[in-house]
Chains A and B, each alone.
Chain A
């Protein structure tokens, strides 16, 4: 560390708003994977081999018929392609933007073996869904009203997928959402450069256009109502609250100013009217190894932080974030430190000054104006104690039934599956199927 830097770190924290010009924000937060043009779509679609029993479909948590929809794109049937996608995954538009496809469908693509480059499935999926959404084309309609009512808690992707599945079957859905907007992490959590142009809310409008879905905002389970009231007032309940808490580092001075939760900061970032409003440190340290760590590190760098270091306690092979994601953040200027465990936070006047690390029996410190905690989220909702948990989250079976009859759950708040948007979509879809079967049985008196 140079003398000048050491001095700067020792003085008052360097946290500022408006570190960049308007044009720079626009450039920095432009789309991570820009859409393909009409011709590029056809060229890319032509690369699909239309595999038998296609491995990409197997690799998609929602089982989208990938080769099938690409063939439809090729033949100019964009609506057909969108229908095939959305019938398996109603939030296929979001998934096309945020799925880590390098570990899902695109990892399975046989083109990897042939020419080291998979068919760009996500961009093709996005194209088809965008065409349908931009023209307002709807593929599903509600069946005749069944008179059955389902309560859903949370308005994230799991819940939206469940709600749409139920609405299709003619049931009436009421969604109770603690916040003032729907979308869950689609609206509050995903990286800004993945979800441009208010996509989360546009997608919700598109999904709810089917009808039969009602939202109640500012309604938090545990505070404003409880599970029993839902069980009494509705024919079925679906819980899709996601993860409300964050893990703490367990370090001294963790409550110091400048030490914050990555998820909270990202929420602010996603909701702000102008990026220039956000406070940004000059030197920033991020602790973690998953998507949230990558996202906060990248975004704080793009907001104008000078030096951003992402410290992970193990090696790259153990990191949840994929190689692609790591490369992406490195290209944007973030430095990744492996095998570095934070052991102490040093402060000055109640504000963080530097972070002390241990790395293979040695210790060193990094100056920091800000420290982001991104070491995982925890299930925190106040639910009825009769619902069995497993590994700290709600236990569900294959149909996404909880241990309590009449209550289903899905998404990040359950113990099954990966914490991904697409996994939440699948949970919601499976739960809706199971709920529908139960409701039909009960109405035929079985």
Chain B
């Protein structure tokens, strides 16, 4: 068993898997069950200012997008921050942290955008013994209409300002949770960094509408016939989250800023993706809401076995390992040439590669040979786009083969070069740098 202990911005936890601020962390009952199940830490469900608690809708809060076999692919919610009194939450946080000192306890916060409101709440949290705070600048529904959540997260100046207040009025580590509902995540991350954040976490949920009820033409989920956009999460959002993590990890202005990775993490593999792209630890919500807390078992065992297998002894060794391999399109090597290859032994003759290449790509796959169904790549036409590989239902049946230097590309008739060459220097580029 590999050593999974994690130290994220100085906060210790037995493993890098935290539950994200959401219903699984809404109260002591859930959090204790999560710790019993083995979760490394929690970000407590977002607290608001003192006063009469918020009210959630009494209609449905969740909507789901399912695959054919009813696996939950995407999940959407219109829940608000906690609807329980502040002092009750504070009492429970204090007690749970006392009972589970080895687990990370982060408190998520969202109060109106005034210095006093933040100052006030920070002191209360400090007394709980929590390990840190997370600023929820992401909630895309309900709270943003009140000038909080995404309404703050979408304006870099506000992000920086509130972060600065938190650093000023509290000694606790500050994680700024970013909203993906922006055009360039780097601007938000830079603002948090400038405000003195110890880390950023991303992503919160994405504005979304699940579907329309085709009988009533209300949207799903609907409350009395009306619906509103909710926050999207779950497996479907993972690629979007990964890109945002990578962008912040490789941005010159935020490089080195710790990141807590969130968005669609369902298995240990997903977690490794995030960590390799720069996350120091990860947070999970939908996977727990879909299967219960027991999913942690696979995450822990899988990560540990993976590390043992690769001879990796600490999570820090994985952090950012793939970041250097993310680059801009213009730097991709144009002299790397690949061709699709179909393994005839594992081909089941479905013909999907043929029809997609024929209809939508480069007419580079045959459909018959000697009067029989037969699918074979025509090297003279193949551009190596990977479409056939992507749609083939049999794993590893179609693969891309990289041509070696000196071989001839049957499509262009040119000899493959061993020199690296990219668009910045390509002769077809009117703006090329080395005329």
Contacts and interface: CB of A to CB of B under 8 A. Distances in A.
Interface of A: 39, 42-43, 45-46, 49-55, 74, 110-111, 113-114
Contact of B350 (A39, A45, A46, A110): A110
A52 B365 CA distance: 12
30 contacts: A42-B68, A42-B69, A43-B68, A43-B69, A43-B70, A45-B68, A46-B68, A46-B69, A49-B350, A49-B352, A51-B349, A51-B350, A51-B352, A52-B351, A52-B352, A52-B354, A52-B355, A53-B351, A53-B373, A54-B351, A55-B349, A55-B373, A74-B68, A110-B348, A110-B350, A111-B348, A113-B348, A114-B348, A114-B393, A114-B394
B325 interface: no
Given A49-B393, A52-B367, A55-B373, A42 B70 contact: yes
A45 B67 CA distance: 11
A110 B70 contact: no
Interface string B405-418: 00000000000000
B368 to A, nearest CB: 9
Interface string B350-370: 111011000000000001000
B260 to A, nearest CB: 35
Nearest 10 pairs of A and B residues by beta carbon: A46-B68, A52-B351, A52-B355, A110-B348, A113-B348, A51-B350, A43-B69, A49-B350, A110-B350, A114-B348
B156 to A, nearest CB: 43
A172 to B, nearest CB: 40
Given A49-B393, A52-B367, A55-B373, A113 B67 contact: no
Nearest to A114: B348
A40 to B, nearest CB: 9
Interface string B67-78: 111100000000
A113 B375 CA distance: 15
Contacts of B354: 52
A111 B350 CA distance: 9
B108 to A, nearest CB: 36
Contacts of A46: 67-69
A86 B290 CA distance: 39
A42 B373 CA distance: 29
B67 A52 contact: no
Nearest to B359: A52
Chain B interface mostly: loop
Given A49-B393, A52-B354, A53-B367, A110 B69 contact: no
Given A46-B68, A53-B355, 7 more contacts: A42-B69, A49-B350, A51-B352, A53-B367, A55-B373, A113-B348, A113-B349
A54 B351 CA distance: 8
Nearest to B69: A43
Contacts of B349: 51, 55, 110, 113
A232 B67 CA distance: 60
A362 B318 CA distance: 76
Interface in B33-84: 67-70
Contacts of A111: 348
B352 A50 contact: yes
Contacts of A53: 351, 355, 367, 373
Contact of B70 (A39, A51, A54, A114): A39
Nearest to B392: A49
A230 B367 CA distance: 50
A53 B348 CA distance: 13
A43 B373 CA distance: 28
A113 to B, nearest CB: 4
Contacts of B373: 53, 55
A51 B393 CA distance: 10
A113 B68 CA distance: 22
A35 to B, nearest CB: 18
Nearest to A74: B68
A209 to B, nearest CB: 26
Given A114-B393, A114-B394, A51 B351 contact: yes
A114 B70 CA distance: 22
Nearest to B68: A46
Nearest to A40: B69
A364 to B, nearest CB: 47
| Residue from B350, B351, B352, B373 having most chain A Cβ neighbours under 10 A | B350
A54 B354 CA distance: 12
B421 to A, nearest CB: 37
A39 B68 CA distance: 9
Contacts of A114: 348, 393-394
Contacts of B68: 42-43, 45-46, 74
A13 B352 CA distance: 62
Nearest to B358: A52
A354 to B, nearest CB: 51
| Residue from A52, A74, A111, A113 having most chain B Cβ neighbours under 10 A | A52
A348 to B, nearest CB: 59
A55 B367 CA distance: 13
A43 B71 CA distance: 10
A49 B348 CA distance: 10
Interface in B391-433: 393-394
B19 to A, nearest CB: 29
Contacts of B67: 46
B125 to A, nearest CB: 45
B215 to A, nearest CB: 12
B40 to A, nearest CB: 35
A42 B67 CA distance: 9
A41 to B, nearest CB: 10
A52 B350 contact: yes
A111 B348 CA distance: 7
A131 B393 CA distance: 30
B174 to A, nearest CB: 45
Nearest to B397: A114
B364 to A, nearest CB: 15
| Residue from B68, B69, B351, B355 having most chain A Cβ neighbours under 10 A | B68
B162 to A, nearest CB: 46
B116 to A, nearest CB: 53
A74 B67 CA distance: 10
A134 B184 CA distance: 54
A70 B323 CA distance: 43
